[in-house]
Every structure is written in structure tokens, then in C-alpha cells.
Amino acid sequence: MILTEAEKIADALARSYGVLAVELIEIEAGTATTNFQVVDETGRRWFAKVYRGELRRERAAIELAEFARQDGVPVPQVRRTRDGRLIDERAPLSLWEFVDGETAEGWISGARWPAVGTVLGRLHRRLSEHPTAVPTLRPAVEVRDIGRAMRDFDELIARFRARGSLSPFEEWACDAAEVRRALLDRAGAILADLPELTVQVVHGDLASPNLMMRGDDVAAVIDFQPPRPRFTAWEIARIGCDPRTVILGDEWIAGLAELLAAYRDEHPSVRVDDLVSTVAVGCAYTLGSTFPLAEPVVTPSLELYARARHDTALLTLDRLTEAQDALCDRLS
């Protein structure tokens, strides 16, 4: 008898976790996993992640999440299998406590700014202690390889121009790519003007879909990547200059300043240079990124994100000096 995916998951939950699932609800989120809300026979809810990628990487990401959780970062608790493993490799899946809340994809505003800053500061303070890498200072030009970005945009524009016809989105994406290609020298100059910045182990994908909110509080940080040293200013910009927030109006500059002040309160040893450079790093990195303009398949939601990300790159470039002055004033 051929089992459905839901039946396979229910079998794995019972066999490996002793969890008897009475309801499985697929959650429309995630790209590298298929996600389910599980209700067991007691009415307790769980979150199950079914993997399609390399399990070694997934296991390392879970271990990093556990490392952060040990110092009070709000990370859902993973449930180990009956024999102590993080992943049931036969399924393959992992099982987590279920967290009520909503993602920060709508926007960050009001009291959410300092709440996010506090959790992010705690996260980076904890991950600075990770044994994979000791925090170091690196030239800011390493944030984005501008020469490679130029080649990537040249290739993307050439592919668009070589096609006989383009969809409305592809026509816009080609125009956007040409605009960004023309600004890459400025992006390189922005990075070259920055001081050396801190590189350490970070979350790796701290965008708004991976931050769960409950009202104005951070309910959970989810979907860690395997431990890899990256610029802390880059990761702060991922959430503090999220396109869904920036395009809504002018609050983001003052809000980001409040986020960074709360971050510093929680992580007092942070270097002010890293905080003040956040907008510049985020702007230059985004200007040099072809995602998602180069994606072969673009869903309606990804198209909206592409347009918002492009507008954000241009807006932060236009207001870079103003934003940096505001951050300096708040953090001095």
C-alpha cells in the first residue's frame, strides 16, 4: 500500500517521537521544507518540518538554534526522537514546540522596534561565543563582491535582452537590473568608506518571515542557518531595513535607531561602528544582489517582494546620509 505524505508523517511521529497525530495541517511557508501543524491526541500542537535538503546542514542549523536558546533567546524547543536524535532521518523530519504568533512580514512599527532590537542583541551576544569562529574585524568591502555583482547583472541583463519577448514582470526586472547595475560603483564606494566591521557567527537568514511576533513582543526566532561567520551589520540590516517596513514611510529611520539602542543595551560590548554602518551595509548589499530578479519562477508574492526590495535599495541610497546622522545622534 502506498502511503500519502500525511500518513508517512503520522507514522514517523508515532514511531520516532511517540506522538499520535490526530490532525495534520500544512502550513504554507518555507522553501527548503514542507511544514505542518500537528495536533496530538491530547490536543497539544507541534510544528513538524519535513526536509528536502542536505540533512547534515539541517542538523547543524538546529544545533545553532539550541545554542542560542540556552542563553534565553526565544527559540522554539526541538523535541528529540526516542533515541535522542534531532532529526528522524527516515522521514526525514524534525519536531518542535508550536509557537502562537504571526511573522513580522507585515512591518515593524511602534514598540516592536526596541523589542526586536533587544532579542537581536541577545542573539548576537550569545552567538559571539559560538566555537565555530571568534569575532573578528574585516574590511567592509567584503560585504559584497562588487566586481562579481557587476558580472552577475551584466549576465542577467544579457539574458533578458536575448529573449524574444518578456512578461510584464520580466520587462520591469530588466529595467530594475539596469538601474542597479549603473549604481554598483556607488555601492562599492559606500563600502570602501566604512571602517572595518565585525564578522561572527549569526543567524544567517534573519528576515521578517523568520521572526515570530505576538503583539509587540518577539515570540520566537526561527529557521536558523548552519553556523557561518558574517557581518553583524548585514544581519541587523536584514531585519531593521526590511523592505516591507521601509517602503511604508519615514518611521523606519527613527525606528531603526530605537532598535539599535535596545540592541546595544542587551549587547553592551558591540562596536558603535557596526551599528552606525547598518544602513550603508544593507543598501550596498541590496544594490548588488540580483535576487529575486534572476529567479526562473517568480510567484505573485515574490514579485511584490522584488519590487519592494528594489524600491528600498534606491530609497536607502537616497537617504543614506540622513539615516546615518540619525543613528549617530541616537547612539552617541
CA dist 11 and 115 (Å) reads 40
Q: Does residue 158 sit in the same domain as residue 282?
A: yes
Q: Would you say residue 31 has pLDDT above 90? A: no
Domain count of the chain?
2
Do strands 93-97 and 45-51 pair parallel, antiparallel, or not at all (unpaired)?
antiparallel
127-156 pLDDT tens trace = 999 999 999 999 999 999 999 999 999 999
User: Reduced to 3 states, what is the DSSP secondary structure of residue 105?
Assistant: coil
Final residue of a structural domain among 71, 98, 125 = 98
Residue 281 lies in a domain: yes
For residue 31, the domain's CATH number is 3.30.200.20
Identify the pLDDT of residue 155. 98
Residue 13 lies in a domain: yes
Is the distance from CB of 242 to CB of 108 less than 8 angstroms? yes
User: Reduced to 3 states, what is the DSSP secondary structure of residue 46?
Assistant: strand
CA dist 281 and 235 (Å) reads 9
Identify the pLDDT of residue 298. 85
Final residue of a structural domain among 98, 132, 157 = 98
The candidate with the shortest Cα–Cα distance to 239, out of 322, 75, 57, 115, is 115
HSE, side-chain direction, 13 A CA sphere, residue 168:
3
For residue 246, the domain's CATH number is 3.90.1200.10
**Cell numbers linked to 223:** 529557521
* Beta bridge mates, 25: 37
The candidate with the shortest Cα–Cα distance to 117, out of 246, 275, 224, is 275
Domain that includes residue 166, residue range:
112-331
Q: What residue spans of the chain are helical by DSSP H?
A: 5-12, 55-69, 112-127, 146-162, 168-182, 184-192, 232-240, 243-246, 251-266, 272-276, 278-287, 300-318, 320-331
pTM, whole model, 2 decimals? 0.94
Q: Does residue 142 sit in the same domain as residue 282?
A: yes
Q: Does residue 150 sit in the same domain as residue 182?
A: yes
Residue 92 CB: number of other CB atoms within 10 A? 16
Q: Does residue 82 sit in the same domain as residue 143?
A: no
The candidate with the shortest Cα–Cα distance to 31, out of 8, 52, 7, 5, is 52
Residue 126 lies in a domain: yes
Our CA dihedral for 177, 182, 183, 184, rounded to 10 degrees, sits at 90
- Mean per-residue pLDDT, 252-275: 98
Is the distance from CB of 260 to CB of 278 less than 8 angstroms? yes
Identify the pLDDT of residue 264. 98
Identify the pLDDT of residue 332. 86
Q: Does residue 147 sit in the same domain as residue 227?
A: yes
List CB contacts of 92: < 8 A, sequence separation 6 or more: 50, 51, 55
**Cell numbers linked to 157:** 541583463
Q: Does residue 74 sit in the same domain as residue 118?
A: no
Q: Does residue 120 sit in the same domain as residue 36?
A: no
Residue 312 CB: number of other CB atoms within 10 A? 21
154-190 pLDDT tens trace = 999 999 999 989 999 999 999 999 999 999 999 999 9
Is the distance from CB of 209 to CB of 245 less than 8 angstroms? no
